[in-house]
Structure 1
């Protein structure tokens, strides 16, 4: 059951009081702000503590700056338990988020929706008072069921459903908890009717999974859609919506949503693709800087 806006706001405010007070001043991205709101004509964009989130925050900030909007970043804040309360108390004004994960956080995993359209609609209703969202991007960082290019060609696989005649011959790989998850082995059986020959416990779309899929030890695997490794594999379309949509979406303080801000952020989101994120994440893996990768993408899409 989806929480009301007031209930969600109250819960997040409680977490804010507990979590932000526990942050040490050393290395804390929020410490410099001291919880103070940004000037009315500027936007402070926060990020989670992983490179893709930091990259997205940098892209949105650079695009706003190029359009004449004063924008700064506070990167590497931490988990949702830290950065969502910071959005509520004005320490930051905007975040690049993932629709399904944010909805699950706000509803304690009780949303009961999976498709991009349904997840976005539910998220808009679940956001706390004073927080709004813009148009989600088609780009997603979600769980995908991946196969090698050779396997996809051999069986003419385009969707997860296409695996049904062949799953009994295949070994499935994924994280150790996958056999007990609906968004895993159970769901593949219940939603798609897939029973694999064997399940091999590996890591979460990491080097063990990548190596096993590449060398044929497994024929299908749980991967992340924006992993740089996905350039070598095929993500099968989740045509029956087993995995909750994780579209990139800017969420921000409602009082920072001007016509200009919305226009700029929506243009970025509209231009962004999952393939772009795969390519940019690979550049970050090669030790290219966030600023350089973001600037190159903005320039390539005439957003600067």
Structure 2
């Protein structure tokens, strides 16, 4: 790690100085306006950004809380103890844990030598990355369920990879790119995170998993995989045949676990894919409408504007 970045990581923050000087309670307003202490990404991420890092505040216990984003905790040095659903876990230097939005955890007070980097990631950051990964692996399944924020089962993936130098190098590169952004930082970070996920998948023997691994969850995972792969022609009838489930039963299951209907899930995926194509290709809006599986441009314009507040053409112009 570059010396100047290392110095920033070990330096005392304003919040830590207040704690050392006698402030013995967590300043909730920094993290959340919610009475239930759901930490808000809007409080921690710069406007419009999908990923950022924040050094964990030392010298104080953090009470039970959740997040409305995906969090990675990386132990840069020292160790890091948290209690997840009543289970105490201590991460050592070089280890990493992924937490979805619905995990409840509390954090044991860290000492001065314990430097933990919290990666704050909005779920939509993974919209593109997930399409590049093999769907039949632990990380893809974790991301597929957590991309849909109404799937409310707590899950974590604990990576015991302190001895994997290639993974440590990738994590340090991501931290440096965020601390010292360049013109191509957004693309670089996405590439580096994608490479990190690939390396973690290759070392699945080093992963400890906590999840509600039941039949209904597997049905939802299969549904999300199907929509992700076949969004431009997907139908509930075809899915029910693939899963050998009556469509009415599958509909209830999808609504129960995601808070959305099959049609709404499909529309969300089509719109996210349309945005990817607008950002990364020179296709015309009409071509994009066809590629994502809509036949009626008027209807597509309507739902696009309802979601983003502007038309596809205005969205494209804003990028220029």
**TM-score of the superposition, structure 1-length normalised?**
0.23
The higher relative CO (CA closer than 8 Å, separation ≥ 6) is in: 1
